[in-house]
Structure 1
Amino acid sequence: MMQEEVQRPVLLFVDDEAAILSALRRLFRPEGYRILLAESAAAGLAILETEPVDLVVSDMRMPGMDGAQFLEQVRLRWPQVVRMLLTGYADIGSTIAAINRGEIHRYIAKPWEDHEMLLSVRDGLDRRRLQRENEALQALTQAQNEELRRVNDSLASRVKARTQELEQVNAMLEKAYAQLQDNFLLSIRVFSGLMELRLGGNAGYSRRVAELARRIAREMKLGPQLEQDVFVAGLLHEVGKIGLPDALLGKPLSALSAEELGRYRRHTLAGEAALMPLEQLRRAAGYLRSHHERVDGKGFPDGLSGEAVPLGAQILAVASDYHAAQSGRMAQKRYSEDEARALIHGGRGTRYEAQVVEGFDAAVRALAAEPPADRLIAAQDVQPGMVLARDLTTPRGALLLAQGHVFDARVVRQIREYVQREGARLTLYVRNDEAAGRAPAPGTGAGAGAAALPSQGG
């Protein structure tokens, strides 16, 4: 019952004539409204201070405070209350004042017509109801917007925190991947050094081939991936020779018999087969297979020609032929640098494509023009913080430390103990101070690991 009472519309009638108040109460009581009556404007204001009123109907002519003044007070103090005015035809000036000052919903002329009066009040109450619903909707919308703002703020904070967490994880993964790549390349360099022990080559021969191949690819602007692939292929380009007999390994190509040459030519297939199981080495494996192909189709093992010979394989061929000629691997004589360069130029258009030879020339010029980035020191003079400029190998070619290694106190101590124990004269190249800050080449950075120094002479 109390809830129904609260929900009933409340009407306040203000008039100084009791008969008019009684007539209005009789008219509206059957409608189910709650009726409040006041015989003066002051009494009406007092009721409004204590009662929730939806609509007020005031007479215009009242002693003391008239209807215009009363409704103006209602507007100022209870603006949500619907305001209506009862007025006679002679009060048109006061009515206009009430409309302007009290902002009344409408005015009703005396004597009123009951049906018109009922419709006017219903219309005013509908307006009040819509106003309440609009206020409730606005309040709900504001509350929902506030809740949404809090949710968004909370979500933004969680997203930011999660993003920072993912960035940290990604940074750790990138660092771990870079370290893994460095370790992978270090393993290849160690294995390359071990191959040179078996093949009886000059210490660092495969590294020089690899570095020249990478520089050629860089001068040809073939991209970091191909640079990396030809570098790895250069380090491992002789892996297929491991199965060849010692007598065959010691002969230059020009001294091989037909049978020995046939056996030698199969080493590229063996090299490819050795690397193919490793996904990261499959492109390098293809270059190993084809680095003895010729663009005129007279190479081996597949007799490829023209564009069918991969650029990476041709780059590897140029680098290996250039250094092989100087090391005595191609003929019984050792070529000078100029003679080896002329040999490469002689293969232009038959052995190699012209653009590869041009890349070779650019690489040789660039390497020659580079200022010295390293200096030779005795091993016992190395200090923590120095950066190794070239691979440190044993006299037989076994890799001890990889280029780019940053010396710490432990490794410095191991080197000095090794030199003292073996009584060997060991020298190494370290970067000049002005070169130490340069970015290392891929796979040769300061993060690259070090091979353990041997406990006995190597």
Structure 2
Amino acid sequence: MDDEPSILNALRRLLRLHGITTLQASSGKEALELLKTHEVDLVISDMRMPEMDGARLLEQIKEHDPSIIRMLLTGYADMQSTIAAINQGAIHRYLAKPWDDQELVLSVKDALARRELERENARLTQLTKEQNQQLKDANAQLESRVAARTAELSQINDMLEASYQELDDTLLAAFRVLSSLIDLRHRESGHSRRVAELSRAVAKHMGLSERDVRDVYLAALVHDIGKIGYPDAMLTKPVSAFTPDEVQRHQRHTLDGETALMSLQHLGSVSRIVRQHHERVDGKGFPDGLSGSSICIGARIVAAATDLDQLLHGSLGDQHHSAESASHLLKGGADTRYDRQVLDSLIKVWTEMESAAKEDVQIDVRDLRVGMVLARDLVSSTNAVLLATGYVFDEKIVRQVTGYAARQGVQMFLWIRSDSIDA
């Protein structure tokens, strides 16, 4: 911008030769009007102009758009005003008149290149800002979806866990019913249940895993399932009174028991315990003559627990043994019939269970309350187990049991664990 047409024309020709488009104004006012309607990257103004000098014009352009590059043409006589304009930040560069064409063109090209870099930098900055915001939004959406999916998976897992627990409870209930039927057939009230409770306690005492403890318990409940096919005559005899033929039949019952459980493929360890629970650590047991650690730990536990219960209740001979006598007989079989470590754990656990049983309390069924724990099996008149030791009474069963006693007009007593009465 200049008030002299010759200077304006010279500048226009010079810059056009280098592909630079120009707008011309002969006064500061005219220049400001052009800026209202055109996008401008650089302004070159002469210092000396009527009405408004170049420094003042460039200062107003700065206020209009500080990104516009501002250059000032000035003579030596205007140097003081030029310095003041530079100090006030109104211009980026000044060129002395008369100017050198090459220097002016290079200055303009450099300024326009810097302007383009600034514009590109601003564009990239804005693009980065937008992309960062998009990424932030995407992350937020992803986190929301992940949270929703996690919650969904958690809900599914909870449902699966509940279903698994329900199936496991159903399986356990089925095994308990089967155990009661086995004992009913053998006329041995509560034998399988007692062996199962004792075996589970021993397995826990020996540090077996939760899964192995469960398998030991299930196997103990049905360890005599192979005896269901016994002739009635065998059911009334202790093992010591069996004939040779009956002994042979007796020694097949573990195989029959394994066969009966064969369809339950996920309970392979249970059927293995049933098959091996008459093996001996000295190798003289049946059906396979296994010895030592080749007999699974569950079978070694069930074997000792079974014999202890049968000694106490007369199933192994013609008499019931006292606690002291039964313990003595078992210890005599250590390292031959029984695993010594299992035997030590069994006697310790059984002694503790007997001590705890002395604290059990017998109550009238009318005093039964929700949360009480059954200390001894509740059996029917035919010796069938109705409720097993350890059963925790809920509202439904309390109502059924008390209602049954009331309808039959009978006085019924239950053994309850003392620590559950005031719970």
Normalization by structure 1: what TM-score? 0.83
Tell me which amino acid in the other structure corresponds to 1:83.
R
Tell me which amino acid in the other structure corresponds to 1:283.
S
Q: Distance in 2 between matches of 1:93 and 1:263?
A: 127
Higher deviation after alignment, 299-308 or 102-111: 102-111
Q: Distance in 1 between matches of 2:164 and 2:65?
A: 72
Q: Which residue does 1:447 correspond to in 2?
A: none
**Uncovered stretches (5+) of structure 1, i.e. residues with no partner:** 1-13, 438-458
Q: Which residue does 1:223 correspond to in 2?
A: 209
Q: Distance in 2 between matches of 1:54 and 1:431?
A: 95
Higher deviation after alignment, 28-37 or 167-176: 28-37
In the alignment, which of 114, 127, 139 is matched to residue 114 of structure 2? 127
Q: Distance in 1 between matches of 2:197 and 2:77?
A: 112
Considering Cα pairs closer than 8 Å and 6+ residues apart, tell me whether 1 or 2 has the greater RCO.
1
Q: Which residue does 1:155 correspond to in 2?
A: 142
Q: Distance in 1 between matches of 2:363 and 2:327?
A: 31
Structure 1 moving runs of 4+ over 6 Å: none
Tell me which amino acid in the other structure corresponds to 1:263.
R
In the alignment, structure 1 residue 196 sits paired with structure 2 residue 183: yes
Q: Which residue does 1:379 correspond to in 2?
A: 365
User: Is the 2:55–2:90 contact (alpha carbons within 8 Å) kept by the matching residues of 1?
Assistant: no
In the alignment, structure 1 residue 36 sits paired with structure 2 residue 36: no
Q: Distance in 1 between matches of 2:138 and 2:359?
A: 58
Alignment of 1:315-330 (within 5 A): 315-330=301-316
In the alignment, which of 46, 51, 73 is matched to residue 86 of structure 1? 73
Higher deviation after alignment, 42-51 or 107-116: 42-51
**Uncovered stretches (5+) of structure 2, i.e. residues with no partner:** none
Name the SS of the counterpart of 2:22 in structure 1.
strand
Tell me which amino acid in the other structure corresponds to 2:333.
G
User: Is the 1:265–1:300 contact (alpha carbons within 8 Å) kept by the matching residues of 2?
Assistant: yes
In the alignment, structure 1 residue 178 sits paired with structure 2 residue 178: no
In the alignment, which of 267, 273, 279 is matched to residue 259 of structure 2? 273
Q: Deviations over 1:410-453 (max 9, x none)?
A: x444334533555554332345565786xxxxxxxxxxxxxxxx
User: Is the 2:47–2:72 contact (alpha carbons within 8 Å) kept by the matching residues of 1?
Assistant: yes
In the alignment, which of 19, 22, 44 is matched to residue 57 of structure 1? 44
Q: Distance in 1 between matches of 2:42 and 2:258?
A: 97
Name the SS of the counterpart of 2:66 in structure 1.
coil
Q: Distance in 1 between matches of 2:360 and 2:47?
A: 107
Tell me which amino acid in the other structure corresponds to 1:315.
I
Q: Distance in 2 between matches of 1:233 and 1:64?
A: 111
Identity percentage over the alignment? Answer: 49
Q: Distance in 1 between matches of 2:20 and 2:361?
A: 106
Tell me which amino acid in the other structure corresponds to 1:125.
L
Normalization by structure 2: what TM-score? 0.89
TM-fit CA distance, 1:147 = 2.2
Tell me which amino acid in the other structure corresponds to 2:71.
M
Q: Distance in 2 between matches of 1:89 and 1:389?
A: 116
User: Is the 1:219–1:362 contact (alpha carbons within 8 Å) kept by the matching residues of 2?
Assistant: no
Higher deviation after alignment, 363-372 or 121-130: 363-372
Q: Which residue does 1:414 correspond to in 2?
A: 400
Alignment of 1:14-413 (within 5 A): 14-29=1-16, 33-62=20-49, 66-89=53-76, 94-102=81-89, 104-201=91-188, 203-368=189-354, 370=356, 375-384=361-370, 386-402=372-388, 403-409=390-396, 411-413=397-399
User: Is the 1:58–1:84 contact (alpha carbons within 8 Å) kept by the matching residues of 2?
Assistant: yes
Q: Distance in 2 between matches of 1:112 and 1:335?
A: 128
Q: Deviations over 1:83-139 (max 9, x none)?
A: 222233565555444444337444333222334323332232222222222222222
Label 1:43 to 1:271 Cα distance change in 2 as closer, same or farther (>3 A). Answer: same
Instruction: Give the number of aligned pairs.
Output: 422
User: Is the 1:60–1:85 contact (alpha carbons within 8 Å) kept by the matching residues of 2?
Assistant: yes
Name the SS of the counterpart of 2:386 in structure 1.
strand
